[in-house]
Amino acid sequence: MPSRIRLSVLSTATALVLAGCGAGAPPAPAAPSAPTAPADSAPAPAATAPAQTGLPAATAPAPSPESVLTAITDIDGGGALSYDVENGSKIHYWHGLEFEADGKRYYTGFAWFTPTKYGADRTSGRIDPAAKVVLAHATYQASAPGAQTPWTWLGSEPYIGEFGHAEQGNAIDTTRKPQTFTAPSGQLVLALPSTLAGDGGASPAYEVLVFNPHELKETKDRKWRYVGTLPAGSGTAAAPLAMVAVPGADLPALQVGGGGNGAGGDKPTEYRYDLAHNTYRPISR
């Protein structure tokens, strides 16, 4: 990711240590009418409905995709949903989600950065088929009643993991709904339906991320962290996903497939969280 962005935005990530305070943080502007995406970028998906119930549905519009990108990069993209950042890297808006965690309502907008490029690679426009992209986010908390703005910006993290291939992030599948699981610690596990592009055509998958609503205590901690892409069958039929509590473990097991629906077989593939490597791995059964 670009060095200038890493230095300037990383300081804003520390604002997330003060999650809930919002002191000195710029407020998120209310969303304007939907922007027209540039020709080289996909249109931004609509803000997803709250992933959990328990709080009244928010009536205020979510932060706009443009404000999310500006909060991450500190660069005004002029309304574009994809634009140059630095050293050949571009930022692309990915997805927005409103959710509840630890009794509070949040909104997170995700984006991804393409790799930096120099010299001949930059001038030629060559695409590295093995190159992943960097996932980033800006997170907001619903403001108290009577506040000047409906959402308070908590902070941004320019690096929460890498995913995708060929310098492209995996596309969100809006025909399937996100799923969540609240761990005993209060962490929120989020599974976003996605589509993987490959030589054999597109195939369904799930992008799994974890949100920590508590105050961060270590410099290596993140409010959000990406923990893996789980394949969910082939063709257009997506295998179902189940999140199952594991005795003695904080994060759930993820079971993909099963049910005899032809998209994963009768026996699901089970994934367990690998703390040492911050990812979900399939287990032998």
Rounded CA-CA distance 91/66 in Å is 11
Smallest CA-to-CA distance from 13 within 152, 112, 160 is with 160
Neighbours of 279 (CB within 10 A): 16
pLDDT tens, the chain, 285 aa long: 544 444 333 334 444 433 333 333 344 444 433 333 333 434 444 444 444 433 444 557 999 999 999 999 999 999 999 999 999 999 999 999 999 999 999 999 999 999 999 999 888 988 999 999 999 999 999 999 889 999 999 999 999 999 999 999 999 999 999 999 999 999 999 999 999 987 667 899 999 999 999 999 888 899 999 999 999 987 778 999 999 999 999 999 999 997 644 454 578 999 999 999 999 999 965
Give the CA distances from residue 216 to residues 7, 176, 252, in Å, rounded to whole numbers and listed in that order.
Answer: 19, 32, 21
Is 232 within 8 Å of 238 (Cβ atoms)? yes
Burial call 250-272: b when 16+ CB within 10 Å, e when fewer? ebbbbbbbbeeeebbeeebbbbe
pLDDT of residue 258: 78
Q: What is the DSSP letter of 13?
A: H
Residue entry with tokens 């305070």:
21
Beta-sheet pairing, 269-274 with 253-256 = antiparallel
Q: What is the DSSP string of 38-77?
A: PTTSPPPPPPBPPSS-SSPPP-SPPPPHHHHHHHHHS---
**Burial profile 26-58: b = 16 or more Cβ within 10 angstroms, e = fewer:** ebbbebeeebebeeeeeebbebbebbeeeeeeb
pLDDT on residue 251 = 98
pLDDT score for 265: 55
**pLDDT score of 201:** 77
CA angle, corner 29, sides to 27 and 33, nearest 5?
170
**Inter-helix orientation angle 65-73/3-13, to 10°:** 100
Classify 190 as helix, strand or coil.
Answer: strand
Q: Nearest 10 degrees: CA dihedral of 109, 225, 100, 239?
A: 90
Query: Could you write out the DSSP letters of every residue in 109-146?
Result: EEEEEPPP--HHHHHHT---TT--EEEEEEEEEEPPTT
Residue with tokens 């994809």: 82
Stated pTM of the model = 0.79
